[in-house]
Structure 1
Amino acid sequence: MLSTAAEREEAAALVQDRQRWLTLHRLPVPARADIPAQFREAQTLSAGLFEDGRLLACVIPEYDPDLGWGQGPCLFLRSVHTLPGQSDDITRLVTLWASDFAARVALYVVRAETLARHALEAEPLAALLRRLTDTGWDVCGSGPGRDGDRVARLELPAEHRPGLRALISCQVRVPEFAPDDRSTA
């Protein structure tokens, strides 16, 4: 979890860097929400993927009992951002972590949304969706997202990945996500 003001500020800066990169590459940027501000807020339960003290990705993981699409409760990954210029390995690690974490908190699925201002088959969105499906995500159509933008809806089955702890040290607390009384995942 991002627990210090410095970590939250670093995440906000990463989001701004990603938004600049998207704009320079003429890719859509969320228009209805101040995403960097969400990461700065101490009450937002955001998480980061660090390697050697460097923030490579940030996300706001949430337990959602009914997202409005899909069936059943899920771990919802809101505002997933990776450091520009990094390989797809960062996305793979976030995917593996999310799948494992959801399984450890007794959820069956992870859901996420990505902006989809055009048809899902149109480039460059189609290339992104191919990369995500290659890592295990399923595309579940498109529609309005939680922030009102048109999005592609994504689902990932939860799966225990016991060997993952050798790669990722998870310090996300369970009670923030699951309706039971477990204390850590």
Structure 2
Amino acid sequence: MHTLRTDAEREEAAALVQDRLRWLTLRGLPVPAQADVPALFRDPETRPAGLFEDGKLLACLIPQRDPGLGWGKGTCLFLGYVHTLPDHPDDITRLITLWASGFAARQDLPAVRAEALARHPLDVDPIAGLLRRFTDMGWNIRGSGTGREGDRVVRLELAADHRSGVSTLIACRVHAPEKAPDDRGIA
């Protein structure tokens, strides 16, 4: 996992996001209402990060420190705009979970928070199956409501934890996110 530093890396992340959004749309699954999410990954000011394996981008996200979510208590590492490679057989979400929990702990943050689109009641598929996977990985559901971009979301929280040995699985060269300077929470 590392901060995307070059235009080529950011363009690769934007392409991954476009592929993921297309994949979701073709399956009738919700996509963010915001029109140009890929542009966020092209913008070096957002400081996106990517999970790579053998030079292949598996996932991208925008890590932020305490972006003023309006939910959850205390400071946090917020994982914004998490997108994974469509139809990839490995459990990328589990790797992101392990990395995020350890990264937050190294930043002296007590928790990791994220939002997942939830256009259906939380006990109805497709969101119910996804939430079961998240809770099996240690995430806690903190209710649902309007997300930062106006979409209906489920709020997720994960305790920070110094996880020994994770660095042998996931090397980390991600910037230490600063507190968000604006109301969108982009660090």
Category of TM-score, reference length = shorter chain: over 0.9
Match of 2:66 among 64, 67, 85: 64
Q: Specify the alignment match of 1:32 in structure 2.
A: 34
Q: Specify the alignment match of 1:97 in structure 2.
A: 99
- Report the TM-score, using the length of structure 2 for normalisation: 0.92
* Structure 1 segments of 4+ aligned residues over 6 angstroms from their partners: none
- Report the TM-score, using the length of structure 1 for normalisation: 0.93
CA contact (8 A) 2:67 2:78 kept: no
Alpha-carbon distance in 2 for matches of 1:89, 1:133: 14
Q: What are the within-5 Å matches in structure 2 for residues 85-164 of structure 1?
A: 85-87=87-89, 89-164=91-166
Q: Specify the alignment match of 2:84 in structure 1.
A: 82
CA RMSD of aligned residues (A): 1.4
CA contact (8 A) 2:33 2:149 kept: no
Q: C-alpha displacement at 1:178, in angstroms?
A: 6.5
SS in 2 for 1:43: helix
Q: What 5-or-longer segments of structure 2 have no aligned partner?
A: 181-187
CA contact (8 A) 1:66 1:72 kept: no
Q: C-alpha displacement at 1:65, in angstroms?
A: 5.6
Q: How many residues align?
A: 178
Percent same amino acid among aligned pairs? 66
Structure 1 residues 33 and 77, CA gap change in structure 2 (3 angstroms): farther
CA contact (8 A) 2:67 2:179 kept: no
Structure 1 residues 2 and 135, CA gap change in structure 2 (3 angstroms): same
Question: Does 1 or 2 have the higher relative contact order (CA < 8 Å, sep 6+)?
Answer: 2
